[in-house]
Amino acid sequence: MGEKQKIVIIGGVAAGPKAAARARRRNPDAEIIMLERGEMTSYAGCGMPFFVSGMIQDYNQLFNTAYGVKRDAQYFGREKGVKLYTRTEAKAIDRDKKEVKAVNLETGEEMVFPYDQLVLATGASPVELPIEGKELKGVYKLNHPTDALKIKEALDTGEIERAVVIGAGLIGLEGADALFNKMVDVTIVELQEQVLPGMLDPDMAEKLQQHMREEDVDLCLGDKVLRIEGDENGNVKGVVTEKRGFIECQMVIMSVGVRPNVELAREAGLEIGKTGAIVVNDSMQTTDPYIYACGDCVENTHLVSGEKVYTPMATYANRQGRVVGDNLTGGNSTFKGVLGTGVAELFEMNVARTGLGEVQAKKLGYNVITALHSAFDRTHYHPAHGLMFIKVIADRDSKRILGAQAIGKAEVAKRIDVIATAITFGAKVDDLINIDLGYAPPFSAPIDPVVHTANFISNKAAGLATGISAKEFKEKVERGEDMVLLDVRTPEQFAPKHFKDDRVMQVTLGDLRERINEIPRDKEIITICAMGSRAYEAARILQGAGFKDVKILEGGYNAWPYELEFEKK
């Protein structure tokens, strides 16, 4: 024995290098070997859209440390004490002999790496749509820096006027945004009826869609790509979808998700979960205690639902890599699970979510209560204030916070991170109301949007307020139901923008007490304002005066994602 501990790590992008570096810092003597089948290691995949858009100008920035050193084999050897083999693909794991068989993809040389502990950080690969034309010139993915480089080069020819992005997930939208910033007309085709189906509830997505349409992004939702068509030179000339038909374009980006790379694990007899990713315990061990796995190839436990989920994210890869590095070297660290917290900047809107969405929570059987609120991210009198829409999802029975989503040209990431933190500790609605968040006009309001939205849930749960969502409201109005749409904004606010419908009645909040007898008591009343607060105030006045059926349009006009005119049914 007396021999050095041998650690072999398969995969050199995010989780692998992290595990390697952490193990090295904890054990100066171990032999640490990292195998990467690609040429590039430790690259910033999340930076690719910013390189395509031109915001990041130097391609090398995707590979360098903050202090300008390229993370290549020399870097890993000299700074991290890790022996890196690039272009070296692991082909099989012999768990009895505890060795990995690999091949050098350049020379064809076969190699065997014995290990005491093995780490699988094999990542994920883009899903390939089985459609005609995907091999045409001008059809790209956006999963690897070389993809970004090729897209950038094509854009720089100046010949790309229109592009089609297939898939409206995060990467698809980030890619579309990058093209949009390069003045390319973009059509996004998505099989589901909304953008970001894995991230946002339909109502929040609707708001983003409204904004994207206003920015002239062409959305084909609930549509299916049938094939990609090319010209005589093999260049893409368009995409054909089921509903829209032919969409002319000179570029296609396919981003319909990723799948975990689990072949090696499966062939070695390690357990693969229902999600299709490698099963690990909270020490990040696979079903073989000598083999760890981390990053985009493993499944995670959702901290709210307890369910297994596949959530490949850079931040999990890094944090899991550290846990593995600890446990490889005698530590006892755990990675308990995920909330699926995500944030993105898309078409100058910030979008974020954590925990369960409303739809997701209902599917899981929760007795869901939600509140959606329009709010400024700072005091309204601070000139930099921006508008957000924030929705909090809770369990009506236990009052536990299940999730939250926010969107706006405003600081939403903080609010979602705060709620993610609260959920981690099992926070209830009242806990959220009581958190001592920092306030100053450039950063927040005396009552932060998080607290305000929690207050709204609390009011709803206590029977002080009844809300109606934009979608329900629209459907009711379009069904022709007899009701009063009571707009309580000022006449100055009402004049330029209001619902175009006969049932609208304008009574400024300040006049409501004295004009209350003008409002029919036998009808359903929907109170409406700009943000939602005055509508609540009005509803309380009406309810206090004995009105029985009063609902607040949640989020008010600012959160309204549709046309102001209704379709008559």
CB of 56 to a second copy, least distance (A): 5
User: Which of 243, 274, 380, 548 contacts a second copy by CB under 8 A?
Assistant: 380
Distance CA 81, CA 84 (A): 9
Contact pattern for a second copy over residues 116 through 145, marking x by CB under 8 A: ------------------------------
Closest residue by Cα to residue 402 from 363, 375, 435, 438 = 363
Q: Of the listed pieces 73-81, 115-123, 253-261, 467-475, which binds a second copy according to CB under 8 A?
A: 73-81
For the CA atoms of the chain, what is the radius of gyration?
Answer: 27
Residues 541-560 binding a second copy (CB under 8 A) are 541, 543-545
Q: Which is nearer to a second copy, 51 or 292 (CB)?
A: 51
Smallest separation (angstroms) from a second copy to the CB of 341: 5
Cβ at position 222, least distance to a second copy in Å: 27
Distances (CA, A) of 136 to 48, 175, 178, 366: 22, 19, 22, 47
CB-based contact 370:389 (threshold 8 Å): no
One-letter amino acid for residue 528 of the chain: I
Q: Comparing C-alpha atoms, which of 258, 322, 248, 311 is closest to residue 284?
A: 322
354 touches a second copy (CB under 8 A): yes
Restricted to residues 176-215, the positions that interact with a second copy (CB under 8 A) are none
Interface stretch with a second copy, choices 116-124, 232-240, 243-251, 533-541 (CB under 8 A): 533-541
In the residue annotation, 46 being an active-site residue is answered as: yes
Residue 428 beta carbon to a second copy: minimum distance, rounded to whole angstroms? 11
Q: How many CA atoms lie within 13 A of 546 on its CB side?
A: 6
The one-letter code for the residue type at 436 is D
218 binds a second copy (CB under 8 A): no
Assign 146 to helix, strand or coil: helix
E strand or H helix that includes residue 451:
helix 449-461
Contact between residue 198 and residue 234 where contact means Cβ atoms under 8 Å apart = no
Instruction: Compare residues 81 and 175 and give the one whose CB is closer to a second copy.
Output: 81
306 binds a second copy (CB under 8 A): no
**322 neighbors 22 (Cβ within 8 angstroms):** yes
Stretch that binds a second copy, among 82-90, 146-154, 268-276, 333-341 (CB under 8 A): 333-341
Residue 314 in the binding site for a second copy (CB under 8 A): yes
What residues contact residue 263 under an 8 Å CB cut-off, 6+ apart?
A: none
Contact 465, 534 (CB under 8 A): no
448: Cβ contacts below 8 Å, ≥ 6 apart: 415, 437, 439
Build a one-symbol-per-residue string for 491-510: x at contacts with a second copy by CB under 8 A, - elsewhere. Answer: -xx---------------xx
**16, 340, 467, 532: which one contacts a second copy (CB under 8 A)?**
340
Residues 74-113 that bind a second copy (CB under 8 A): 74-75, 78-81
Quick check: helix, strand or coil at residue 355? strand
Distance CA 57, CA 521 (A): 63
Figure out which of the listed residues 9, 10, 14, 279 binds a second copy, where binding follows CB under 8 A: 14
**Residue 311: CB minimum distance to a second copy, A:** 10
> CB under 8 A: which stretch of 110-118, 241-249, 328-336, 517-525 binds a second copy?
328-336
Rule CB under 8 A: say whether 68 interacts with a second copy: yes
Q: Are 261 and 124 in contact (CB under 8 A)?
A: yes
Range 424-443, binding a second copy (CB under 8 A): 424-427, 431, 433-443
Does 336 participate in binding a second copy (rule CB under 8 A)? yes
Alpha carbon distance 172, 151 (integer Å):
13
Q: Is 281 in the site for a second copy (CB under 8 A)?
A: no
Nearer to a second copy, 483 or 541 (CB): 541
- Does 50 bind a second copy (CB under 8 A)? Our answer is yes
**Catalytic, out of 46, 249, 294, 529:** 46
- What is the smallest separation between the CB atom of 318 and a second copy, expressed in angstroms? 4
Measuring CA to CA, which residue among 250, 304, 259, 297 is closest to residue 278? Answer: 297
d(CA 270, CA 99): 15
Binding segment for a second copy (CB under 8 A), chosen from 86-94, 251-259, 269-277, 329-337, is 329-337
- Asked if 205 and 197 count as a contact pair (C-beta separation under 8 A), the reply is yes
Considering only the stretches 284-292, 444-452, 469-477, 497-505, report the one whose residues sit in contact with a second copy under the rule CB under 8 A.
444-452
Do residues 329 and 26 lie in contact, with contact meaning Cβ atoms separated by under 8 Å?
yes
List active site positions: 46
